[in-house]
Amino acid sequence: MSHLDHFFHATRNSWRGLVAITKSEKAFQQELVALAIGIPLAFVIAADAWRCVVLIAVLVLLLIVELLNTGLEKLADVITRDHHPGIGWVKDMGSAAVGLSLLLAGLVWLVALAEWLRLI
């Protein structure tokens, strides 16, 4: 397989993963809406290019963490649907990662909005 074939194969797999999570996960759908709103809003409220990039990046990071968390959950469900403490911890850790990503995104956006409104 050539490098170009490998690239197209990997791109197709990535696209299938994005389509699958978009169809099946409400949280990912909501985060996509936040990104769709956040991209143009970042250009309005960011004082410079770096702030704009950071505002968009924290939303993309949230999507990445949600993808990883959902992958962990799906894999854990394939292993067993029965309650297992170890799998429960793994799922809880993935959920915590999403929660921390949401907290980070919210903090970054709140600071940017406060600056834009000249509150800080």
Q: State the catalytic residues.
A: 66
| Cα dist from 83 to 68, 75, 98, whole Å | 21, 14, 22
Q: Residues 105, 61: contact at Cβ < 8 Å?
A: yes
Cα–Cα dist 9/2, whole Å:
10
Per the listing, tokens 């309650």 go with 83
Dig out the tokens for 104 from the structure: 């980070």
